[in-house]
Structure 1
């Protein structure tokens, strides 16, 4: 390779790093913190709040004006003379567990009451569980019906005065039913039932009356404890995964190296010297150790100056040590250069955010006391950390031995957390987007 080709290759790498850094800065600005991986935002879902008086077996039941109670008023002569009513909205799927309850005020003549889940096109003259893509727990025989008119042994019968509930555990992909606050049983949710499901109740003999609770009042079943137990189960699964004792040590050490926390690193090494076997995580992952130890003392010094607000001193050090990342010249030249650099980001999906950030930064110049202005948030300590992290990445990008052009952006620990986030989102996608949205902050806390 001739010198021209080497030069073009270096420029190409530098341009790629610069572009990555630009997007990196926008990422930091968006989340307001320099260390947290971006998590997927979720739109709010409509929840069931009342019974649907339009889509029901109106000829056999009466729905109370509050749309939370039903009573069978017909005369049951045939198997299809069922009074069925669904909730007004389908089950929200972006959560750990969904649950609702019914209170049997009157079991009527035969106690043929059922609770369950049905699809949008369910035949409204059939008990939940008698048709495909539906399930139901029936009070007169205690059987569980899953897509056919033949039931399976499941739990006790229920009658006047009982509170019965139905739920979906999206983490385990299971349905469950309860009686008077205790779980009766669970069963797997078939993939065919990943479609839109509605909480459903049915009455089938004269004078049967049921009140439904979609969460407007306290459940007989302890839903919060159920969710806590599910999270504890996941935590125990994670804790049972074997890791070499020095792995976490290596990740923390690499993190301190990456961000130039030299003093903390020395204290960390001293404290763990007698208890943790040495590990060189960079080498184990195919990277040279110089990638993260490069210019450690200088990066520490610049970071401290930026965090202390000593910007002039930080700029002077950067001019002396890394003139290639500091533009020196007249104000007119600096403005011209800035316009060229900012233009690179136009047309990107982040354009609107970037424009807003630039306008906010420019607006600071109009105030004698910018800290007291509406744009003073840009001068907060958390924003200094964003600047310090960005400068740290720029210094790492000058390392001629840097093989991974993205290695200057995040530490190994952050890359691992991003991988964890991506895997959890992918797993949730495999479940049809159902289940609680992944939250790294909640997981770490």
Structure 2
């Protein structure tokens, strides 16, 4: 199931879903930069230590080598590796060599070898290596016998070697054009490697310090397009995405946006039926829609006192226990709003009256301290506790109240549904499965981060541009949903049989990616849009989701 199933059950049994949102609020203090890219050190030069130095001379800049000996046998090859292995957390890695002089025999090779490769042999002649050789144009993959691969290369040619982690293939180029590809069976760290083996052979290496002859960016774009084309060829039931997006709006109480959404799609979308399986009954999330909308709007405006009054009037059971996590979040937000408007004396009084009682309670002390610390700064927004003044914090409180109201539904069938919409559970499962698939490739390949494909949801501190209309945000949702189709491709082509999904979740994977055609009346939607946030998951949730998939299957 989703990443938070176990958390939900533990919170539900305690009768206070607010504790889940207490943890969400706590994530704000640990939040780092929005950049989700994984930094890896790439090769920058040749390794002077791990080379057959007796047979070659390396330039002072460590970017060119020359064979100065006379080859007598197959164990006097001049081989040198890069100073670092090829990075693995990316779509493609690539480097090039320029053959300045092919020497007497042109026995030059380019390829990849493992760390313990025998440094007197051509890449591809030994296990855990692969090499494209210039004298015969053959590809060698761990055996002495080569296989027909491409043209030979000589003086003046630029030859490149790369790893396509998406397809798990080696590929080689000559003068800017791909020569061929070969399946990469090796899951170990591989070092870019060059070899020279006849007198006066000289090559220069380019690790990216200057432009490549090969258009690497175009190659990466084509690889991503291949994935997109594969997805688009999948047969999809009509208009399923309409139901998923609609359930998202219902879950979070965006009543006005929902009305505009329904109005805009009446003329273009025929009535659809979403299977009511595994607790996906719409009645659960239609419950108290208007009240939830009103309370969300009050909290997002910072009108916490009015939100308290409405809760006492409509749902007194939620605020009956004044020491509950939900009440704590509301009291904290009231204190924060007072600091925001500069009413510091009133904030101090309110803190003594309402926050002091939480100080000694387990699980609250750190957040109480963060709130109080706002008073110590002349510019609290720029302080280490400035996250409390972000719109994200209001969203956490609004989501907590929303979940608590949903939990009061006497006909509630699925307590897990109070925390996350079906869309969010789908995207969480998608992320988990992509992480699991990547692990099957030895954790090699571009790391999957949902954040790269969707505008960041304010609840975790990644604000959406206020100028973006609701249609634009739904288009971003459609991009995220597009990647759920990618998982169908994974199951079909990689046959990951141990990833089993419920029939409800499988139905959700089949998404109509042509959402733009559904939402044809942009002006109508934008006119009443409520700034609907995009679902988002923290890295911690992504990792828990992955482990949960493995455990449950």
Alpha-carbon deviation of 1:440? Answer: 1.4
Which aligned pairs between 1:302-313 and structure 2 lie closer than 5 A?
302-313=295-306
Larger radius of gyration: 1
- 1:338 pairs with one of 358, 365, 368: 358
Is the contact between residue 28 and residue 386 of structure 1 (CA under 8 Å) also seen in structure 2? no
Q: TM-score under structure 2 normalisation? A: 0.70
Deviations 1:244-266 (A, max 9, x none): 22210001110110010111111
When residues 331 and 108 of structure 1 are mapped into structure 2, their CA distance, relative to the original with a 3 A threshold, is closer
Residue aligning to 2:62: 67
Q: Distance in 2 between matches of 1:377 and 1:290?
A: 35
Residue aligning to 1:364: 374
Which aligned pairs between 1:241-252 and structure 2 lie closer than 5 A?
241-252=234-245
- 1:274 pairs with one of 264, 267, 270: 267
Q: Distance in 1 between matches of 2:63 and 2:379?
A: 58
Moved more, 264-273 or 284-293: 284-293
Q: Secondary structure at the match of 1:84?
A: strand
Is the contact between residue 20 and residue 406 of structure 1 (CA under 8 Å) also seen in structure 2? no
Q: Distance in 1 between matches of 2:204 and 2:254?
A: 61
- 1:128 pairs with one of 99, 109, 123: 123
Moved more, 215-224 or 312-321: 312-321
Moved more, 315-324 or 128-137: 315-324
Q: Distance in 2 between matches of 1:101 and 1:305?
A: 59
Aligned residue pairs total 420
CA RMSD of aligned residues (A): 2.8
Alpha-carbon deviation of 1:325? Answer: 2.2
Alpha-carbon deviation of 1:22? Answer: 3.2
Q: TM-score under structure 1 normalisation? A: 0.87
Whether 1:292 and 2:292 are equivalent positions in the alignment is no
Alpha-carbon deviation of 1:238? Answer: 2.0
When residues 100 and 371 of structure 1 are mapped into structure 2, their CA distance, relative to the original with a 3 A threshold, is closer
- 1:147 pairs with one of 142, 148, 159: 142
When residues 47 and 371 of structure 1 are mapped into structure 2, their CA distance, relative to the original with a 3 A threshold, is closer
Residue aligning to 2:413: 403
Moved more, 75-84 or 96-105: 75-84
Q: Distance in 2 between matches of 1:120 and 1:401?
A: 62
Q: Distance in 1 between matches of 2:211 and 2:380?
A: 50
Is the contact between residue 144 and residue 152 of structure 1 (CA under 8 Å) also seen in structure 2? yes
Alpha-carbon deviation of 1:398? Answer: 2.2
Alpha-carbon deviation of 1:243? Answer: 2.4
Residue aligning to 1:348: none
Q: Secondary structure at the match of 2:308?
A: helix
Which aligned pairs between 1:31-430 and structure 2 lie closer than 5 A?
44-190=39-185, 193-279=186-272, 281=274, 283-326=276-319, 327-328=321-322, 334-335=354-355, 338-339=358-359, 343-344=362-363, 355=366, 357-366=367-376, 375-430=385-440
Alpha-carbon deviation of 1:64? Answer: 0.6
Question: Structure 2 stretches of 5 or more lacking a match?
Answer: 1-8, 324-349, 455-475, 477-553
Q: Distance in 1 between matches of 2:322 and 2:159?
A: 74
Q: Distance in 2 between matches of 1:247 and 1:32?
A: 36
Alpha-carbon deviation of 1:273? Answer: 1.8
Q: Distance in 1 between matches of 2:50 and 2:383?
A: 55
Whether 1:22 and 2:15 are equivalent positions in the alignment is no
Residue aligning to 2:464: none
Alpha-carbon deviation of 1:95? Answer: 0.5
Question: Structure 1 stretches of 5 or more lacking a match?
Answer: 1-8, 346-353
Residue aligning to 1:438: 448
Q: Distance in 1 between matches of 2:154 and 2:11?
A: 78
